[in-house]
Amino acid sequence: MAEAVAFYFLSACILGFAVLVITTRDTVHSVLFLVLDFLFVAALYVLLGAQFLAAIQILVYAGGIVVLYLFVVMLVNLKRPPEAHHDPHRRTGWGFALSMAVLVELAAVGAYSYARPAPPLAAAGTPAMPVTGNTEQVGWLLYTSYLIPFEIASILLLVAMIGAIVLAKREL
């Protein structure tokens, strides 16, 4: 009961702040609502018993990435409303089609997982974990069942890092 109340309260806060992020006029306020949103998502993780994820969520998103956003937003004067000028490069039709495709994909994923709920981890053939503790279990799963997705994600991050360096440095 208490858990359900906490869940609905947190979810309502998350959705409410998410709406505020995109409706607020002042860009800095919008970024601040984003921080609040991330904090409530972390609270949701704690509710699910994933303390490690919660701490990482705050450390990486609220404490790291959004500080960089704020840094940029403060340097750029966005007080002026955007002018309604015609952008010759804007392809409205393509954008609409792409976002529809993404929407359909998300709906398909949702429908699929509703029709066939994922089996619990133990039934999926995962060997019993020899470790206890939240952090240890995350590490164990990353290096056994999810090794390949983990490595692919690392490579993706490496590529992004190299890309950022190439973009930032005119000459290497």
* Options 5-13, 50-58, 87-95, 164-172: segment touching other proteins (CB under 8 A): 50-58
Does 91 bind other proteins (CB under 8 A)? Our answer is no
CA 75 to mean position of chain CA atoms: 24
Rounded-to-integer distance, Cα 151 and Cα 145, Å: 12
Considering the complex, state which of residue 39 and residue 44 has its C-beta at the smaller distance from other proteins.
39
Distance set, CA 20 to CA 16, 28, 34 (Å) = 6, 12, 9
Largest CA distance in the chain: 61
Nearer to other proteins, 64 or 149 (CB): 64
Of 69-88, which residues contact other proteins (CB under 8 A)? 70-71, 74-75
- Contact between 134 and 51 under an 8 Å Cβ cutoff? The reply is yes
Query: From residue 106 to residue 145, what is the string marking binding to other proteins with x (rule CB under 8 A)?
Result: ---------------------------xxx----------
Residue spans of alpha helices (H) in 24-91: 27-47, 51-56, 66-75
Residues that bind other proteins (CB under 8 A): 26, 28-29, 32, 35, 39, 51-52, 54-56, 58-59, 62-64, 67-68, 70-71, 74-75, 133-135
